[in-house]
Every structure is written in C-alpha cells, then in structure tokens.
Amino acid sequence: MGKIMSESYRRPLNKVLKTLKDEGCRENLFIGSGCGFFLIGTVEECIAKVDNISEYYRLQYRDGYNSIKEGIAKACKEAVYEDGQDLLKYADRLMTAANRIKSLVASAALAQKKYETFIPMGRRTVRDMYRKEVDNGIAIILPGMETGNYWTLDEWRTKNA
C-alpha cells in the first residue's frame, strides 16, 4: 500500500473530493471508516452519493435509538400489576422487566449520543489516504464507527448494479 496522505489531504472529505476532481483523478475511491468501505466509485460518483450515505447512517442511529425506547416501553407494559394477579408471579415479572430496562437504558444513552453527535461524512476530516494495490484505487479513511458492507470493487458493483 502506497501512502499518499499529505497535510493537504487532512481536510474535510468534501474538500478532498473536490481537490481530487480538480486534479483529474480517474481512479476508483474506496471511502470508509470503522472496518470497511461504505462508498466505492469514481470521484464524481462519490461526490454525488456521499450525502445519501451519510443520511442513511444518521437514520440508522435514529432508528436504533427509537427501537431501544420501544423496548423500554414494552418492558414497562409487561411490568404492570393486574388485579387478582399472584404477587410472587408479578414480582418475578417486575424483576425481569427491571433487568431488561436497566440494560436498555444503558444502550439508549449510547445510541442517543451517536445520533445527536453524528457528523455527516462530507464534513469529517480525512484520517488516512493510501493507494490500494488490490482493485487499483485510492482508499480514504474517515473517523467514525460506521462499517461498510462492501470490501472489493466487484462486490460493490454486484450489490449496487
């Protein structure tokens, strides 16, 4: 892998993409964070799709947070006492619900933080940039925990044809 990172590329992704376009880059770009690439294509394709990919991940975080809140609401409903119910059985249900709620509340705090502090991909500062020997292209690595589903150019083309 050939490093091509220079201080001139340690800027927001949108600016790096514009620079690459202005320089006439014709190589495929492999943009990712976490442990995979979430966007692969020419400079023009990446410029056109980076906002959509960003919105996809932002909505995933929101939906994850909402799903956790729904789980908490469901556990609360299951913990409601009904007239005539055996108190020992109710106590067991209440303890089970309390344990589920406790675990979900911890997850909710993290999910809410991810959603509220989400930085769009185009505004993130490029962390690393290098030439890929396999697939002949340029890898651009951003900070973040988003993981990609596509590892090679062929896989990307198959899934996004």
Query: Over 50: is that where the pLDDT of 101 sits?
Result: yes
Domain count, the chain: 1
Q: What is residue 121's DSSP assignment? A: G
Domain, as residue range, for 91: 2-159
Decide if 13 contacts 126 (C-beta within 8 A): yes
Full-model pTM: 0.74
Question: Which residues in the chain belong to E strands, given as ranges?
Answer: 2-3, 28-33, 36-41, 128-132, 137-141
Amino acid at 49: K
Q: What is the pLDDT of residues 112-161, one digit of tens each?
A: 988 999 999 999 999 989 888 777 889 999 998 877 655 556 666 676 66
Pick the range with the lowest mean pLDDT from 11-20, 29-38, 43-52: 29-38
